[in-house]
Amino acid sequence: MPTKEQAVEKVSGTEITSVIPGELDVLDFETKHVAESGTFMPFKNPKTGEHLTHQTADDDEPRALGLILKGGDSAEAQRVFRQLQQRERRRGEHYTPSNDDIEKDRQSDSKAIAKLVIGGLMFSKGAWVDMDKNNASDYLYIVDPLRKQAVAHILDEGNYLAD
């Protein structure tokens, strides 16, 4: 039982304004705000793990390929997760997917992940492509490593800690 000096002060979320620099504070691990605004996920070469960059003749320097993604603690991600969970619950415990079901799920998953794309940049068919939630599902569907890296990034809370 803590003494009166050790008792934890109850503070509402609206009263939390700052933290003393250099002091450990559990609030440093809050991820919701950064999850809502998103973080950059560099697209990595699936074979080497290198962050992919590209430079065209018109570019002064190489540009990073990647997506800006909302995190798992964002409201939109929570909606997406619940929709995917509901799909699995409807199917039941002994469900075995057909090849057609697997393909439909891949399409559905790509569209669901695309809802979490805020922006980004890819290079495709000789041109730079500005990514957004409207065009990302096509790339997420076609490029399996991009989809898998996006899911891993979204679910890793460490990607959404404030600096």
Query: Does 21 reside within a domain?
Result: no
67 close to 119: Cβ distance less than 8 angstroms: yes
> Does any domain span residue 53?
yes
In a domain, 129, yes or no: yes
Report how far apart, in Å, the C-alpha atoms of 94 and of each of 1, 10, 85, 90, 91 are.
Answer: 49, 47, 15, 11, 8
The answer to whether residue 126 sits within a structural domain is: yes
Q: According to the model, what pLDDT value does residue 2 have?
A: 54
User: Alpha carbon of 115 to those of 27, 53, 67, 81, 118: distances in Å?
Assistant: 28, 24, 12, 11, 8
* pLDDT tens digit at each of 163 positions of the chain: 555 555 555 555 555 555 556 777 777 788 888 999 999 999 999 999 999 999 999 999 999 999 999 999 999 999 999 999 999 999 988 999 999 999 999 999 999 999 999 999 999 999 999 999 999 999 999 999 999 999 999 999 999 988 7
Which pLDDT score is estimated for 162? 81
* 19 found inside a domain: no
Rounded Cα distance, 69 and 113, in Å: 9
Indicate the number of domains in the chain.
1
Output the pTM of the full model: 0.79
Count other C-beta atoms under 10 Å from residue 162's C-beta: 10
- C-alpha–C-alpha distance, residues 43 and 64, integer Å: 8
- The predicted pLDDT at position 66 comes to 97
pLDDT reported for residue 43: 97
Please say whether the beta carbons of 31 and 161 come within 8 A: yes
The residues that bridge with 64 in the sheet, in sequence order, are 53
Q: Examine residue 59 and state whether it is found in any structural domain, yes or no.
A: yes
In a domain, 14, yes or no: no
pLDDT at residue 87 in the model: 92
Collapse the DSSP code of 27 into the 3-class scheme (helix H, G, I; strand E, B; otherwise coil) and give the result: helix
* Residue 157 DSSP label: G
Boundaries of domain holding 58: 30-160
Residue 24 lies in a domain: no
Contacts of 57 by beta carbon, 8 Å cutoff, 6+ apart: none
